[in-house]
Amino acid sequence: MYTLPSKLKMFAIIFMVIGALGIVASFLTAPSNTAEVKEMMAAHGDSHGAEHATDTHEVTSDDHGTEVHDVHKEANAHDSEEAHLEHTLHQLQNKPWAALYIACFFFFMIALGVLAFYAVNFAAQAGWSPVLFRVMEAITAYLVPGGIIMFVLLALSGFHINHLFVWADPEVVAHDALLQGKAGWLNGTGLVIRAAIFLGGWILYRMYAVKFSRASEHVDDNRYFKKTFRISAGFLVFFLYTESMMSWDWLMSFDPHWFSTLYGWYILAGMMVCGITTIALITIFLKSQGYLEFVNDSHIHDLAKFMFGFSIFWTYLWFSQFMLIWYANIPEEVTYYITRIEDFKLPFFGMLILNFLFPLLLLMNSDYKRVNWFVVLTGIVILAGHYVDLFVLIMPGTVGTSWFIGLPEISSLLFFFGLFVFVVFTALTKAPLLMKNNPFIKESKNYHY
């Protein structure tokens, strides 16, 4: 049995408290009207506001001849400045929400990726992984609290309490024929109902899988293994459909004018690589504490191989999506990448280094995949890279050019990190770390590659 060290508990709680304070502060400091935005811009010496001021001045001094025209132009410029401030205000008000959403989804996606990986291992009757099942079960415990927070955030966004989803704003939809056409799918009620079905299905599978895993300790036949095998196969079918729809609802709808067909797979690949990386990190951590003496470096080697493979799979899907749109250059699709390349150049291309180049070069060597600190180093880089990936998916549609990785982003990340650590390591104490009575457990313990 694993007992939660009080140090770790304190560590998690401190992270949660600091994160929560930061989140509250970032909501309080967000501007509430355009005057504040103007003030903020002036204080920051923003070139945008300054340019505007000189622009209007030049216009008035140039056209001296027609006075009526002059006044008209001045009024126009004033209007556009006000509209610009309004636009920036919405972006800045979105900032803490978007930061919260990204961090919330990031940790939720790790738990979901692990759940899918767990089901795959059962359905494939993998012989190497059963010693890691209890670690995986503990990580998926985050699905319940994480899912509830995710659901609340979605409901708030879907019913336009915040401005995260453009399509949730009835005024915008009234002037947008494209959004009207999509309103049959993109509406608050639909979003919440679908989210409830997805989350319900995933949590239900998790509940039964863990229940069977615990119950198998007390029997001496394989009946619970067979049951888990069956529900895992069923879950994987359900998961692939719901995961795809989830990616349209929760991520793609930030840019509701844009669509892509391989988006769901792309999100899945990122989810899997984050999930597997987290399994590796927590396994290495527990092993270093002396709790997983039955895990050998061949298990780590296999996890690292999965990290390597799924990183390349993610890159393959990222590039396929990018290259097809870049090549065809159809205006209605390509704006998605134009905004990202123009406003998010560093994170957009930087994440390719973190998510592709790093794992490719560091994990290619078979010997390095057995070196724990190497796997940990690459794992941290991969997780950071996929946070940036989510950042680039969500931020352009919510805060646009006003993005920055500052207080709201970091404090949200800290809060959910603390919550994740707290939930996962509490869940680890609920059952022995080695599964009993799994038909593959002996093979897994003696696993050698």
Partner 1 sequence: MTSKVVHAIYNDDDILMQAVKQVRGEHYHIEEVYTPFPVHGLDKVMGLEPTRIAITAFMYGIVGLSVAVTMMNFIMIEDWPQNIGGKPSFSYIENMPAFVPIMFELTVFFAAHLMVITFYMRSKLWPFKKAENPDVRTTDDHFLMAVDAGNHDIEKLSKFLYDTGALEISIVETDEDH
> In this chain, which stretch among 60-68, 140-148, 322-330, 402-410 interacts with partner 1, using CB under 8 A?
322-330
**Amino acid residing at 242:** T
Q: Which is nearer to partner 1, 241 or 319 (CB)?
A: 319
Decide: 395 and 380 in contact? Cβ < 8 Å: no
Q: Hey, which residues between 290 and 319 contact partner 1 (CB under 8 A)?
A: 319
**322 binds partner 1 per the rule CB under 8 A:** yes
Sign of CA dihedral 262, 264, 266, 268: negative
Output DSSP code: residue 438. Answer: -
To partner 1, the closest distance from the beta carbon of 303 in angstroms equals 20
Q: Which is nearer to partner 1, 315 or 398 (CB)?
A: 315
To partner 1, the closest distance from the beta carbon of 323 in angstroms equals 5
Two tokens, residue 202? 């995933």
Q: Which is nearer to partner 1, 33 or 329 (CB)?
A: 329
Count of chain residues binding partner 1 (CB under 8 A): 8
Q: Which residue has the tokens 């609802």?
A: 249
To partner 1, the closest distance from the beta carbon of 113 in angstroms equals 26
Q: Tell me, residue by residue from 358 to 377, as one string, x for binding to partner 1 by CB under 8 A and - for no binding.
A: ------x-x-----------
Query: Apex CA 250: angle with CA 232 and CA 189, to 5°?
Result: 100
To partner 1, the closest distance from the beta carbon of 192 in angstroms equals 39
Q: Which is nearer to partner 1, 236 or 324 (CB)?
A: 324
Report the C-alpha gap between 225 and 441 in whole angstroms. 11
Q: Of 35, 193, 323, 353, which lies in the binding site for partner 1, with binding defined by CB under 8 A? A: 323
Q: What are the angstrom distances between the C-alpha of 177 and each of 72, 159, 172? A: 30, 20, 10
To partner 1, the closest distance from the beta carbon of 322 in angstroms equals 7
**449 binds partner 1 per the rule CB under 8 A:** no
To partner 1, the closest distance from the beta carbon of 326 in angstroms equals 5
Q: Which is nearer to partner 1, 149 or 351 (CB)?
A: 351
Closest C-alpha to 119, from 197, 201, 194, 196: 201
How much of the chain is in helix, strand and coil states, percent to nearest 5? Answer: 80, 0, 20
To partner 1, the closest distance from the beta carbon of 105 in angstroms equals 28
Q: Which is nearer to partner 1, 366 or 446 (CB)?
A: 366
Q: Of 60, 180, 289, 329, which lies in the binding site for partner 1, with binding defined by CB under 8 A? A: 329
**Amino acid residing at 325:** I
To partner 1, the closest distance from the beta carbon of 306 in angstroms equals 19
Residues 6+ apart with CB under 8 A from 32: 93
Q: Which is nearer to partner 1, 392 or 434 (CB)?
A: 392
Sign of CA dihedral 116, 117, 119, 124: positive
Q: Of 326, 368, 374, 417, which lies in the binding site for partner 1, with binding defined by CB under 8 A? A: 326
To partner 1, the closest distance from the beta carbon of 364 in angstroms equals 7
Q: Which is nearer to partner 1, 24 or 323 (CB)?
A: 323
Residue numbers at the binding site for partner 1 (CB under 8 A) = 319, 322-323, 326-327, 329, 364, 366
